[in-house]
Amino acid sequence: MKQILIIGLILISQVGFSQIKKMTPTSIHLLDLSVQGENEFKKNQEAGMKVMEKLGNGTKYEDLSQEDKDALSKVDETMESYWDIIGGGCSWYCGGGSKEVTASSYLKSEGENNYEPSNAHDLNYKNAWIEGVAGYGIGEYLLYTFDGASPRINEIIVVNGYVKSKTAWENNSRVKKLKVYINDKPYAILNLQDIRGSQSFKIEPIGNSDRKDWNVLKTKPDWTMKFEILDVYKGLKYDDVAISEIYFDGLDVHCFAKGTKVQLANNTTEYIENLKVGDLVAYMDPDTKTIKSSKVEKMEKVMHHGLVIYRFESGLTITATQGHPFKIDNKGWASLKPDKSKQYKGFENINEINIGDFFITTDGTEKLVSIDFLEGEQETYTISKLNSGDNFIANGLIVGVEELND
């Protein structure tokens, strides 16, 4: 009887395990990080900053030498370090991020290197979490805690192994299978490839979807994601299993700052924070270049970090997230973060904004002369659906409607 019971329990556990979805990466990005690469990055940043100083002192972009323009093109103002994964620009993290990352164990520090769980979510390729038990760490885990109001997650990105150098990656063990739990309930098994790079897994949105009332949203309880090691790729030298990063992308992160003026259909303006579903706003017909009327069907509001101020030659400014699309002369739709913008309908082939671009307005163009990167948190808003048209007019500029792809 005892033997039958044991067999039955084994079968039940196998059925439960088989019902968990098994996922393979939807995209992969290989890394080639090195000390030489870091030195080249620093050299390019220094050269580009000198050109930015010229622009700040009054030199016009068109008066720059080709050498200066080339130097400027090699600078990413959002990246403070060669090792940055996302940089200071706006991303899913503008609207939140995890509150805390803990682990079942971690390896003790060695000299200046530490291997604490926070390393797995510091958005830096140079650091790594390494589990701290004997053997290959099967069953060890990372636990991420999120605020109830955190933006929803629809992508998990894993940087597997100790990627700071080719030698460190080869010598340390890596994860082969990672089991994901949502609030301690099994959710999926990520089948990781043995590559030195990032691996993305697209998922159905996780988090609180009812975001209409911010005050109610803030009262929602915390929730967790756990990542447990099930199997490993063995390192050449060490049993220790390393994960450089597990980070996220998602929804509910877009918008313009409070105080942005939106043109209405009757040719007056209204602050974006006062707009509501049913209001009639103006948009530009792309074929006739005429201004037409459209009804607001959906609005979004979220707290944001890391916004940018676009400054134009006329003195006009607008504060927005870096992924928000703008209509640019001779470019079409463009944003500072094209990869972020591609999740929205109609922006699959979006271009990148550069200083010197001419932004299309209702009566001509505005030349972009500088971009400021802001610190702190602000309320932001956007129109995410109109009954017609793919744009609206904010501070006189033609901006995209960020409606999510189905």
pLDDT over 60 (residue 17): no
Angle subtended by helix axes 35-56 and 66-73, to nearest 10? 120
Confirm if 161 and 257 have CB atoms less than 8 A apart.
no
Confirm if 245 and 159 have CB atoms less than 8 A apart.
yes
Torsions phi, psi for 331 (to 5 deg) = -125, -30
Query: What pLDDT is recorded for position 251?
Result: 73
Query: What pLDDT is recorded for position 208?
Result: 86
Query: What pLDDT is recorded for position 354?
Result: 93
Residue 216: both structure tokens together: 């109610």
CATH T-level topology, domain 20-34+81-250:
Jelly Rolls (2.60.120)
| Highest-confidence segment of 42-56, 176-190, 273-287 | 176-190
Torsions phi, psi for 202 (to 5 deg) = -75, 135
DSSP class of residue 93? G
DSSP lists the bridge partners of residue 225 as: 144, 182
Least confident range of 32-46, 143-157, 256-270, 341-355: 341-355
Distance from C-alpha of 166 to C-alpha of 327, rounded to nearest angstrom: 42
CATH T-level topology, domain 256-400:
Endonuclease - Pi-scei; Chain A, domain 1 (2.170.16)
Per-residue pLDDT of 86-145, as tens digits, reads: 765 456 776 667 899 999 999 999 888 999 999 999 999 999 999 999 999 999 999 999
Per-residue pLDDT of 366-376, as tens digits, reads: 999 999 888 77
Q: Mean pLDDT throughout 274-284?
A: 95
C-alpha closest to that of 256 among 271, 237, 246, 238: 271
Per-residue pLDDT of 324-364, as tens digits, reads: 899 999 999 999 888 777 777 778 889 999 999 999 999 89
Read off the amino acid at residue 238: Y
pLDDT over 90 (residue 310): yes
Query: What pLDDT is recorded for position 14?
Result: 40
Mean of per-residue pLDDT scores for the chain: 87
Per-residue pLDDT of 195-228, as tens digits, reads: 999 999 999 999 988 776 767 878 899 999 999 9
Q: Mean pLDDT throughout 45-54?
A: 86
Residue 24: both structure tokens together: 């393979």
Task: Determine the Cα angle at 326 with ends 322 and 332, to 5°.
Answer: 125
Enumerate residues 6+ apart whose C-beta is below 8 A from 381. 255, 256, 258, 260, 272, 273, 275, 299, 300, 301
CA R_g for the chain: 24
Boundaries of every domain in the chain: 20-34+81-250, 256-400
Q: What percent of the chain has pLDDT over 90?
A: 62
Least confident range of 9-18, 63-72, 128-137, 159-168: 9-18
> pTM surpassing 0.85?
no
Query: What pLDDT is recorded for position 307?
Result: 82
pLDDT over 80 (residue 306): no
CB atoms closer than 10 angstroms to residue 42? 12
pLDDT confidence band for 10 (50 / 70 / 90): very low
pLDDT confidence band for 69 (50 / 70 / 90): confident
Distance from C-alpha of 63 to C-alpha of 199, rounded to nearest angstrom: 43
DSSP state letters, 137-175? -TT-EEEEEE-TTSPPEEEEEEEEB-TTSHHHHHHSBEE
